Chains A and B, each alone.
Chain A
Amino acid sequence: MQATGMSANNLSVFYGEKEAIKSVSLEFAPREVTALIGPSGCGKSTFLRSLNRMNDTIGGVRTKGEIWIDGENINDPGVDVVLLRQKIGMVWQRPNPFHKSIYENIAFGPRYHGIRKKKQLDAIVEECLRKSALWEETKDRLHSSALALSGGQQQRLCIARSIAVQPKVILMDEPASALDPVSTAKVEELIAELKKDFSIIIVTHNMHQAARVSDKTAFFYMGKVVEYDKTDKIFTNPSEKATDDYISGRFG
């Protein structure tokens, strides 16, 4: 498996007439965690969702500009969105496991992508659950409903589900904001672990979390990237005043 970076070039997103993202260019390096921070409504989630064209599923959203991965511009009209999305995993704010068994949640994607042999699927399920630190907790009840798991376990299952189709990049939209502190810590540990194999882009409201898990941080404000730098730099010595105001809690 080979992690790749991603980049956005002059990306703009419109909701009807309103320009929610204003010509943003960002580059995400492979095997790094990039945090997107900023006040509510600054466009960070919209930006994240445009990286795998998830905004297509909502009516009335228009995208301009380029997003590159593996030498392909995602926004090219000829791009096969279905194949593209396999390369880019996604994790949502609220855990959303399928209404199926734990095993099926993970096997669902790989099976669709052509892996039919039960042995292979079993191996993938075990590997993904181990990687997401769920194996010990679930190995005895793989075939019971995923909805019976706790919120934190469900979220880790969702992460396991997304890595089962071997993406190169994983997008996370406030993955811990609906979880209790213990579960949050587990998810953060998991992110640090996953970084070895994947590039991760994470939207978060929690600045401590951004500081803990990320290598680079982009500060969004009013649909623009105000500052993008190493996380250390952003949190200790930001070059823009707006960034400083935000991370020291003066607004947002």
Chain B
Amino acid sequence: MEQPAVNDQSRVKPKTERTMAKPHVMEEWVGRVFTTLCIVVLVVTIAAIVYFVASRGLATFITNGVSLSGLLSGLKWDPEGEIPLYGALPFIFGSFSTSLLAAVIAAPLGCCAAVFMTQIMPGLGKRVLQPVIELLAGIPSVVFGFVGLSIVVPFLRSVFPGQGIGIAAGSIVLSFMILPTITTIATDALSNLPRGLKEGSFALGATRWQTIYRLVIPTTLPALLTGVVLGMSRAFGEALAVQMVIGNAPHIPHSLFESASTLTSVITLDMGNTVMGSAHNNALWSLALILLAMTFVFVFVVRFLERRNNR
């Protein structure tokens, strides 16, 4: 090592330096190990979920010899029949149609609420609408199911032909449940808009509405879509509220007001009544695997939209 030119006393070790105890080394170690263990538990949990659901779900195809395309496109679900049939298309259809319809209902409502809170009356929005949305997010799904059963279904029955149960009832209940998700994300996106953007548009003589639909909405579109996809993802995985109002008939309905089923509703109803390891049971796990796969799809769509948004 090169010696310094000047007489530098900072390089001389003082003789009286006492050797310090090092309790902190142990302490750091404990902290690091504890937090790392926690994160490991988290990672192992998700790996275990994917592994176990996949291992049971794939048993249908491996041990019971059902073909994947047969499961995905079969129209008839009769696992206890003389010749068991595992056509899950009615459930897949039910899940997609209810969550899509729910998003179609909730998206405009959520965006309106967001525009109200950020562009039209921020004061009133913060004091009234925002707490309302937060409360809505806190209502348990079984309560939504109960309300659906006692208000939405009778209402639909009196207005439209049929029993009132079905995809329409399911979508309406779900749209309530996902409204907070969509609204919150849309509100965040709209309030993060740079101030100058809007003022520039006003300065050009545009009205507020022109500014909103020509400038604000297009700029924040990816973020708004993120909210809608997250909402759909929640609707897709929701089990009890839908199961309570949809009717649970295992076929593709001819109208929105006819009894139908979703992936989650059939799992909820049948899982308790089948024997672990039986072909029927394995088929239900395959449905759960589809749910799981869709979760990943939704997460990646959201990630993709977020990346678009950040650019």
Q: Which A residues form the contact surface with B (CB < 8 A)? A: 2, 4-7, 9, 27-28, 30, 68-72, 80, 82-83, 114
- Categorize the interface residue count of chain B: 10 to 19
Q: A5-B9, A68-B10 are in contact. List 8 more A-B contacts (CB 8 A).
A: A5-B8, A5-B10, A6-B10, A7-B4, A7-B10, A27-B10, A71-B12, A71-B14
Q: Is B159 an interface residue when CB atoms closer than 8 A count as contact?
A: no
Residues of A within 8 A of B9 (CB): 4-5, 30
Given contacts A9-B4, A83-B20, contact A2 B10 (CB under 8 A): no
Contact B10 A114 (CB under 8 A): no
Q: How far is the CA of A71 from the CA of B22 in the complex (A)?
A: 19
Contact B8 A68 (CB under 8 A): yes
Contact B20 A71 (CB under 8 A): no
Contact B24 A82 (CB under 8 A): yes
Contact A4 B22 (CB under 8 A): no
Contact B24 A4 (CB under 8 A): no
Q: How far is the CA of A166 from the CA of B201 in the complex (A)?
A: 60
Residues of B within 8 A of A28 (CB): 10
Q: Is B21 an interface residue when CB atoms closer than 8 A count as contact?
A: yes
Residues of A within 8 A of B20 (CB): 83
Q: Is B17 an interface residue when CB atoms closer than 8 A count as contact?
A: yes
Q: Is B16 an interface residue when CB atoms closer than 8 A count as contact?
A: yes
User: Could you say which of A69, A80, A82 has the most chain B C-beta atoms within 10 Å of its C-beta?
Assistant: A82
Residue of B nearest to A25 (CB): B4
Residues of B within 8 A of A7 (CB): 4, 8, 10-11
A111 to chain B minimum Cβ distance, whole angstroms, is 12
Contact partner of A71 (CB less than 8 A), chosen from B11, B24, B25, B28, is B11
Residues of A within 8 A of B6 (CB): 27
Q: How far is the CA of A4 from the CA of B12 in the complex (A)?
A: 10
Contact A83 B13 (CB under 8 A): no
Residues of B within 8 A of A68 (CB): 8, 10-11
Interface residues of B in 1-52 (CB under 8 A from A): 4, 6, 8-14, 16-17, 20-22, 24-25, 28
